[in-house]
Structure 1
Amino acid sequence: MDTLTNKVTFSTAISDFKQLTKVGLSLSVVFSSVAGYLLAVETIDISILILLTIGGYLMVGASNAFNQIIEKDTDSLMKRTMNRPIPKGRMSISVAMTIAVLFTIFGLGILYYINPKCALFGAISIFLYTSAYTPLKGVTPLAVFVGAIPGAIPFMLGWVAATGTFSIEPGTLFLIQFFWQFPHFWAIGWLQYDEYKKAGFNMLPMGKKDRGAVKQIILYTIVMILVSIIPVFKQTGTFWIYPITAVVITLLGLLMLYYAIQLYKHQTDKVARQLMLSSVLYITLIQIIYVVDKFLH
């Protein structure tokens, strides 16, 4: 019986750890960092790539852990989050805080070992996510703008890891992921509107689930498409793409725009979910496309 209890406890602990650090989200962020790194290098340094992967994961894991410590009370109010380890009482605040602090120290230490600028951007990301975005969620829909800054850092972090410098190229990568986040998060805000309301959060741009919010989604989707194809004009330093690549990226963006327009027409959760899923597809595929394009130069 004890063995069974230990097994259950161990598997629960692992599951709780994964929930606290949001493994799925962390891995998608690591994917962005790796894509940014591959865009910048001529020769791949496997050791730097491994360090960037670990450092990036620890950085995001720390942000998520701090976030769940701060939001333990509001998490218990929403269906989506009430089963997280802290609100359910499966994990104490002190254990979560220990994980968050250790992840921060080791994550930033690893990024600093890659280069100091990498650690600086990692620190800015953790600070803004936990000390600005998280508290602002209950105050103003502008929290999404603040949250878009740490959310856009991973893609450019890979470039900074490879070069040790911040210039127009990582700046462009930052802008691409920055503008992408608005339609993505507002689609989630639409889907989770009632749940967020219970917790006192308002994530939609105008604070209302209406056509006004969708107009903003459409506008930012158009800006996102335009920013994503800027490298075709060869004004962004060594980061440039072929015209055919720009066409493919535009078509992917138009898929998102199609769902945004459908959301404006129908205002249903089903369409909002399609928009959200198409946004995940967009950011994943364009990062792969940029890397493939770069290795065809």
Structure 2
Amino acid sequence: MEETQTHIKNSLYKDFVEITKARLSISVVISTIAGYLLGFSQEQPFQWSVLFLLVVGGYCMVGASNVFNQIIEKDLDAIMDRTKNRPLPAGRMTTKSAFILGIILTILGLAILYSVNPKTAMFGAISIFMYVSLYTPLKTVTPLSVFVGAFPGAIPFMLGWVAATGQFGIEAGTLFIIQFFWQFPHFWAIGWFLFDDYKKAGFFMLPTGKKDKKTALQTILYTIWMIIASVIPAFGFTGRLFLTKISTGIVVVLGLWMLFYAFKLHKEMDAKAARKLMIVSVSYISLLQIVYVLDKFLR
């Protein structure tokens, strides 16, 4: 009896982790934490309680987005090898149960983020709306879905700043722009090496719809835009968000590292190069956030 109960608990936990895409959700929350650490100041001091609420509320909102996404794409997920064993297509969870979970996570997330401040809740609501109502259905219609999805995908980094300050200004906008441009090479790399699997479900992820030189060239161009956006704080135009020369140099080196793999994709035009670019892009955004935070505390 106890073994059965333990098995059920483990199964429920595993399904919750999968349907909320825990690894993705945690990475998004870490991005939000970085934004919060950059945002607090003497006027708006650091508060563990606010950070805790931001983490819990942020996970609820991202988790809810992923739940609704999987409800909408249940039949398509069943077609793709990568997703066919998710709780809904595998039949381990009903659509009704998933919908209830999504509603609970949405209400909890909005309430918790509202307790931080109203603007944080507003941007959280915008994020979940754009991801579920715009990005998800557009994936089977147009490659512009990546452009639309880049908006909710870029919100978490700036959300931390808004949570710390209660304001959306040039600093939060800059954090948004950095992560906005980063989305393109990151998701196009994923769209490249998962092209065949996505094609089964009719997902349009690459800008030209094909694994061609034009797609690879656009990946390079958006990587360059990302690098430019990442060093803007070094020029003193972005209020309290500022980078020292040393940190700027590190950010440039990180950007050139990612740009190298974007050029490599253009040269080799294969799934291996695309996968490598994806891995490097994840490392890039994580290391960039670490550099930004360390620069604030060590300057």
Match among 211, 221, 228 for residue 209 of structure 1: 211
SS in 2 for 1:79: coil
Q: What does residue 83 of structure 2 align with? A: 81
Q: What does residue 17 of structure 1 align with? A: 16
Q: Which runs of 5+ in 1 are unaligned?
A: none
Displacement of 1:4 = 3.1
Q: Which runs of 5+ in 2 are unaligned?
A: none
Whichever residue aligns with residue 4 of structure 1, its letter is: E
Displacement of 1:9 = 2.3
Match among 235, 260, 263 for residue 237 of structure 2: 235
State how far apart, in whole Å, the 2-side matches of 1:65 and 1:208 are.
29
Whichever residue aligns with residue 204 of structure 2, its letter is: N
Q: What does residue 275 of structure 2 align with? A: 273
Whichever residue aligns with residue 109 of structure 1, its letter is: A
Q: Deviations over 1:120-172 (max 9, x none)?
A: 00000000000000000000000000000000000000000011111000000
State how far apart, in whole Å, the 2-side matches of 1:210 and 1:106 are.
44
Q: What does residue 30 of structure 1 align with? A: 29
Q: Deviations over 1:1-29 (max 9, x none)?
A: x4333332221111011000011011111
State how far apart, in whole Å, the 2-side matches of 1:205 and 1:246 are.
30
SS in 2 for 1:236: coil
State how far apart, in whole Å, the 1-side matches of 2:9 and 2:246 are.
51
State how far apart, in whole Å, the 2-side matches of 1:208 and 1:180 are.
20
Whichever residue aligns with residue 181 of structure 1, its letter is: Q
Moved over 4 A (4+): none
Q: Deviations over 1:96-133 (max 9, x none)?
A: 01110000000000111110000000000000000000
State how far apart, in whole Å, the 2-side matches of 1:20 and 1:136 are.
21
Q: Deviations over 1:236-293 (max 9, x none)?
A: 0110100111110111111111111111111111111110000000000000100000
| Matched residues, number | 296
Whichever residue aligns with residue 287 of structure 1, its letter is: Q
Match among 173, 177, 180 for residue 179 of structure 2: 177
TM-score (norm 1): 0.98
State how far apart, in whole Å, the 2-side matches of 1:60 and 1:93 are.
18
Q: Deviations over 1:69-102 (max 9, x none)?
A: 0000000000100000000100001110111000
State how far apart, in whole Å, the 2-side matches of 1:165 and 1:249 are.
26
SS in 1 for 2:155: helix
State how far apart, in whole Å, the 2-side matches of 1:46 and 1:116 are.
19
Asked if residue 6 in structure 1 is aligned to residue 5 in structure 2, the reply is: yes
Displacement of 1:208 = 0.6
Whichever residue aligns with residue 209 of structure 1, its letter is: K
Whichever residue aligns with residue 14 of structure 1, its letter is: Y
SS in 2 for 1:235: coil
